[in-house]
Amino acid sequence: MWVLSGIGVVVFGFALRFNPLLVVVVAGIATGLAAGFAPAAVVSMLGKAFADNRFIAVAWLVLPVIGLLERGGIRERARTLISRLRGATAGRVLTSYLLLRQTTAALGLVSLGGHVQMVRPLIAPMAEAAAERDGALDDETRNRIRANAAAVDNIGAFFGEDVFIAIGSILLIRGFLGQYGISVTPMHLALWAIPTAILAFAIHASRLWLLDRRLARRKPPA
């Protein structure tokens, strides 16, 4: 049972709000020592696990880049750009991104968008700037626009990726159906995902149109 001591380290470390990376490393070391491995062997296993899965750490390289772009004023530039476009509204901005996100996901470019690299620095500020044409935004309205921006990214990626035949969800569906003797090809699954994607776009575009109507009726904060 001492092998499970690593779980206690994780719970204790997270409860005290220690650095997550430090907590995980200490938990791994504690588990290895409790299992009877020598300290050198434990460190060696940690290094091997990191080397074998180092591609996972590549995603973290994006975060400093986004931070530098935001410090350089990318959010302000996005707001300025959208304020110069006539007829731009929050709903239209988000609908355009929904179409872009769903189309690129259908082509297999699922990583092209995302909350960190697209929604927070670009899409949400652009939608807020479009809504501010009719007056300043209160906190509730601003949070509603940001929530819709995040939802657009989720919906576009979720219903668009199934159109791409080499995505993990298509292979999962095919494997699950194959267990019950139902033989389908990835191409057939992708084709049947197209009507669903179209309906998802139409339904959510309608919701964004209703969002525009709600924003047009709002009263500017005092």
Per-residue pLDDT of the chain (222 residues; tens, 9 = 90+): 777 788 888 888 888 888 777 888 888 888 888 888 888 888 888 777 666 655 455 555 666 666 666 666 767 777 777 777 777 889 999 999 999 999 999 988 887 888 878 888 889 888 998 888 777 888 899 999 999 999 999 999 999 988 887 777 777 788 888 888 888 888 888 888 899 999 999 999 999 999 999 988 875 555
pLDDT at 46: 75
| 190, 162 contact by CB (below 8 A) | yes
Rounded (5°) CA angle 6-11-16? 125
pLDDT at 177: 83
pLDDT at 61: 60
pLDDT at 62: 60
CA distance 108 to 111: 8
For tokens 């209703």, what's the residue? 210
pLDDT at 157: 92
Each residue's pLDDT tens digit, 136-167: 888 899 999 999 999 999 999 999 988 887 77
Q: Can you give the pTM of this predicted structure?
A: 0.66
pLDDT at 34: 86
Cα four-point dihedral sign 59, 66, 80, 147: positive
CA distance 142 to 209: 17
Structure tokens belonging to residue 185? 């090809």
Domain boundaries, the chain: 2-52, 74-217
CA distance 50 to 42: 12
Choose among 165, 173, 215, 167: nearest CA to 190: 165
Structure tokens belonging to residue 205? 């575009």
Q: Could you give the count of Cα atoms lying within 13 Å of 19 in the half-sphere of its Cβ?
A: 4
